[in-house]
Chain A
């Protein structure tokens, strides 16, 4: 199972401005300190091995979209944020090489940042494509049709050529989709959101974003610990600091890095991927929070070791 992140930003896409690129170039040249490189390979090695993530790369700015690639069979995707457009381009390439033309798409919810990629999804205009939506909401279809009404977008939903179907999933029940056993949990978020656990070939992945964990609800906490139990990877909404999540941003429907580590450690999960990054944060901010989160896990991880990843657009994690 290969987990591929096409979009990791929360709330709204974030483009990189010219001055940010400039600052990265300056930081890289300062780090090189006048060194001479005898080949592009040597330069690449310097960039990959000696520069920190905020200088050498970026966490990206596309909103939520995660692909679960089983190597063969149908496509499986969680959410259709702006990263879904890039995914669609790559999926078209793979279909041209013989990949299945069926897409199984699990939706956490239908806020803009999770559906805005769909109108730009090229394969939906292919009559040979089948798109199977799965979600816990009754109004999933309405949300997707509405965002393509003329007042907002020039191409109405009715013009799409793909065979599109909508399937409702129910928390507590497990369904088999494309070779995965998929279970669902309801999450605390405006208009509700749903988290999913995918299991296949002895591996397990949890996708749990846009989920607030209340500070006074231990029963809910215990339920999520069980949902995350022994997962190989938990993709977790770490948009805010613990303080913000419990104070000024209470009831905004998101969680924190500290709660991510607490729950995943209790659950015995092997890895957690910080996800749904705050759009106010630049690469240095996200990198700092990632470093702090690793340190927090070291401070509290007494009996187990939870690996703390920080998702970025383009990251791949093999399970």
Chain B
């Protein structure tokens, strides 16, 4: 799994791709914690661009939960953008949409 990064308008945007499952989740978490530290150091918010994520199992949701918790502790604003229809449904069913800031696109997340 590749994690593309860019900085725009005081936000660090990271874009994972592929499938987040048992195999890829550890690397995904390690990389997210690194970018979270970068965001914290640079006083940036963190946007996870999910448009290239085909599917994320609950193992991936656990990663998001832990990173989100760490972000709150570090006072880093964290947002999720660009999820496909399947991921939107999984967020709703798991009730993650109640605690994560979810946006249709990165541009919407930057504006939100």
**A interface vs B, CB < 8 Å?**
215-216, 218, 241-244, 246-247, 256-259, 262, 292-293, 295-296, 299-300
Contact = CB atoms under 8 A, between A and B. Distances in A.
A223 to B, nearest CB: 15
Given A242-B61, A242-B95, A300-B57, 12 more contacts: A216-B62, A243-B95, A243-B98, A243-B99, A244-B95, A247-B65, A292-B93, A293-B93, A295-B89, A296-B93, A299-B90, A300-B90
Contact of B99 (A216, A247, A262, A295): A247
Contacts of B57: 262, 300
B98 A258 contact: no
B96 interface: yes
Most A CB contacts (10 A, CB to CB) among B55, B58, B90 go to B58
Most A CB contacts (10 A, CB to CB) among B57, B90, B94, B98 go to B94
Given A215-B62, A259-B58, A262-B57, A242 B96 contact: yes
Contacts of A259: 58
Interface in B55-112: 55, 57-58, 61-62, 65, 86, 89-90, 92-96, 98-99
Contacts of A296: 89-90, 93
Contact of A258 (B22, B55, B86, B94): B94
A241 B89 contact: no
A241 B93 CA distance: 8
A100 to B, nearest CB: 43
24 contacts: A215-B62, A215-B65, A216-B62, A241-B95, A242-B58, A242-B61, A242-B93, A242-B94, A242-B95, A242-B96, A243-B98, A244-B95, A247-B65, A256-B94, A258-B58, A258-B93, A258-B94, A259-B58, A262-B57, A292-B92, A292-B93, A295-B89, A296-B93, A300-B90
Nearest to B94: A242
Contact of A243 (B22, B55, B96): B96
A256 B95 CA distance: 11
A299 B58 contact: no
A300 B89 CA distance: 11
Nearest to B58: A262
